[in-house]
Amino acid sequence: MVDAPKTRPEILFPLFAELEGLDGIGPKTAKHYKGLNIETPKDLLLTLPVGGVDRTRRASIREADLPGIVTVEVEIGPHRKPASRGRPYRIQVTDAATSFELVFFHARGDYLARTLPTGARRVVSGRVELFDGMAQMVHPDHILPPDAAGEIPAYEPVYPLTAGVTQRGIARAVASALPRAPYLGEWIDIDLLKQQNWPAWPAALAQAHCPEGPEALSPSHPARERLAYDELLAHQLTLGLARLKMRKAKGRVSTGDGALRRRVLASLPYRPTGAQERAIAEIADDMGQPVKMNRLLQGDVGSGKTLVALMALLVAVEAGGQGVLMAPTSILAAQHVNGLAPLARAAGVRIEILTGRDKGAERRAKLAALKSGEIGILVGTHAVFQDDVDFADLRLAIVDEQHRFGVGQRVKLGQKGAAADILVMTATPIPRTLSLATYGDMDISVLDEKPPGRKPIRTALVNTARMQEVVDHLRQAVAEGRQAYWVCPLVGESEAVEMTAAEERFKHLRAALGEGVVGLVHGQLPPAEKDAAMADFVAGRARVLVATTVIEVGVNVPNATIMVIEQAENFGLAQLHQLRGRVGRGEGASTCLLLYRAPLGETAARRLQVLRESEDGFRIAEEDLAIRGAGDLIGTAQSGLPRFRVADLEGQTGLMHTAQTDARALLARDPDLVSPRGQSARVLLWLMEQDKAIKLISVG
């Protein structure tokens, strides 16, 4: 790749200068602007108006709907000074048709006498209200001689403010910053630009800051849409460059004859869904390429990710190599092995589990079998990262639950096998926009169908006041041989408080249902105790499992048909959906009871209602995004979710998708960004401070 300049292009210097150079901003005011995250003229120009005020000139206040903002030329009449302290100063004025008063509190009389001398003409603009039958304008926003009245815009933008920053101050600063925005070339595809009727970058800024009416404040206005697109394109170019770098990493071609996969399919009592077949084909195709696979497999609860994962692992084995599946906890690793083992047996492939608990001779024997290639598929936890774990020929690494593993760990895992393909699985449906924003450097396969035979789960909202009825219902279910989960309240960030809540509920239910019937699992338990409690529940010895959210991901007990979630209003929608997905996995009809404390807030009520109406994880994720917004949904601290000044992740899904397509098309034609459009795209990356992308071009 051609090296990018190591420093910002000179044409951008005025946009990244100090704020103090702008009209009305001194060192003290510049500090106040930090409250709006504005530190440079560029930041100021990308902070767009959030509203507007109609200041169209009228002949008389009689033409306006009162109360309301009116701009009118008046003749100044007599001044009535306040009779005592704290009383208002009043000035009578007359427009083309009627008289009204200008009212000032705490104003200096000499200042008003100079600004509004009796007999002079002035244009005033402000809010007019009726008070005791008399129209009055309190503290006009603008007072100007008629020959200077052109300074009042017909439609005045309203900016977000912070302590120490005024509307008039920010408007002055913006007016002096706009000339600093030069034409920077065009980084948007010209056909797209014409098709969308988008202005050039400097014109878009000018139009966004000088709106001609309320329609100019809409995100779909061409100027605003273009500025949002610039941010999205810069972000997608950054992810695209990361993806290119990943793809340049030499991969290994892994193709098999399909024999092992055919054996597994023949042993299944059902046919895979169309979504599963599509994902299996996409992954096999990636593994057959000479570049490294970097794919995300996204599937709703119970959509059949396990089968897709096994088929991918079998491609690696058929190609003469090995595969590893990484799970975040030993409970999940054990469960993966239980799910995969019968299918691996049908294929005649040896599968083993490796966790931190493997010790001594048993561990040494597993490591030897792994190094010699006898073990085709390994399932493990972080223990797989240890230095003494060597594979004969690692072709594929699957990471379950993306957010539990950092990027660094994914890289380390890839190093275990020269150029091993990477597949990341997540059971959390992510709204399309967010998956583009967060995983835009990965290819994505989506499982959006449920395998046949999954029964719907009845979801009911129950007031905590009816707790005793719920316990009685549970006693009846246990007597009928059924099993249940009872998830305890989510208490902020405090695991200790959650543990206490779980222990209290455990004691209460044990007293109500009997010794040995109830098990307990929470994050503070020693791993061995946790495993033992889970094993008792899986085996059916414990009928009710009291737990904190440690059971959110992956636990599979087909006989469990009841899920009780206490104080459900404290949980996020995606989390509630994950928890509910622990039931409905067997033959029996399943129920999810959402216990809530009245009265419910509006947002909490909406969340629980959505869950009651739908089992579609993708619809639920979209609703969650609409309710909470992108920052809360992913967690603002999570790196990877960009913060945009203009673009709106929730409202501009289509724009994000276009930006991804456009960025990938540009990089496919011009990976080094050396064409005229590529050079402009480099300027865009500097403008949007996409340092990561700039480094990628430099090191390429």
Amino acid at 480: E
* Residue 304: C-alpha distances to residues 270, 425, 453, 592, 629 (Å): 12, 11, 12, 21, 29
CATH number for the 56-152 domain, one of 1.20.58.220, 2.40.50.140, 3.40.50.2300, 2.60.260.20? 2.40.50.140
Peptide bond into 67 cis (omega under 30): yes
Q: What is the pLDDT of residue 564?
A: 93
Whether 56-152 and 259-447 share one fold: the answer is no
How many Å from the N-terminal Cα to the C-terminal Cα in the chain? 5
> pTM value?
0.65
Mean pLDDT (whole number) for 276-288: 94
Please tell me whether the peptide bond between 41 and the residue prior to it is cis, using omega within 30 degrees of 0. no
Look at the block and give the residue holding tokens 């767009």. Answer: 48
* Bridge partner list, 380: 326, 354
Residue 636 has pLDDT above 50, yes or no: no
Q: Exposure pattern of 604-635 as b/e (b: 16+ CB <10 Å)?
A: beebbebbeeebebbbbbbbbbebbebeebbe
Q: Pick from 222-236, 636-650, 680-694 the range whose average pLDDT is largest.
A: 222-236
Structure tokens, 125: 């603009």
Write down the domain spans for the chain.
56-152, 259-447, 457-614
Give the mean model confidence (pLDDT) for residues 93-122: 88
Q: State the pairing for strand pair 121-131/142-144.
A: antiparallel
Please name the residue ranges forming H helices in 250-394. Answer: 259-267, 274-287, 305-318, 330-347, 360-372
Coil/strand/helix, residue 248: helix
**259-447 maps to CATH 3.40.50.300:** yes
Q: Are 163 and 35 a contacting pair, CB within 8 Å?
A: yes
Please state, in angstroms and as integers, the Cα–Cα distance from residue 452 to each residue in 302, 306, 698, following that order.
10, 15, 51
- What confidence tens digit (pLDDT) does each residue in 484-541 have? 999 987 655 556 666 677 888 999 999 999 888 999 888 778 877 887 888 888 888 8
Report the candidate in 560, 645, 657 with the shortest Cα–Cα distance to residue 236.
Answer: 657
Asked whether the predicted pLDDT for residue 334 surpasses 50, the reply is yes
Which strand (E) or helix (H) includes residue 91?
strand 89-94
Residue 593: per-residue pLDDT = 92
Helix H or strand E encompassing 696: helix 691-699
**What confidence tens digit (pLDDT) does each residue in 117-152 have?**
999 999 999 999 988 888 999 999 999 999 888 888
The SS3 assignment for 383 reads helix
d(CA 77, CA 501) in angstroms, rounded, equals 73
How long is the chain? 700
Which tokens sit at 65?
A: 């709907």
Distances (CA, A) of 170 to 139, 167, 223: 20, 5, 20
* DSSP result, 575-623: HHHHHHTTSS-SSS-EEEEEEEPSSPPHHHHHHHHHHHH---HHHHHHH
d(CA 59, CA 54): 15
The chain-wide mean pLDDT, for the chain, equals: 84
pLDDT at position 100: 94
CATH classification of 457-614, choosing from 3.30.590.10, 3.50.50.60, 1.10.1040.10, 3.40.50.300? 3.40.50.300
> How confident is the model at residue 475, as a pLDDT?
92
The average pLDDT across 73-93 equals 88
What is the C-alpha separation between 700 and 241, in angstroms, rounded? 9
Distances 579 to 47, 127, 557, 574, 590 between C-alpha atoms, Å: 40, 54, 13, 9, 13
**The predicted structure's pLDDT at residue 276:** 93
**Alpha-carbon span 247 to 157, nearest angstrom:** 46
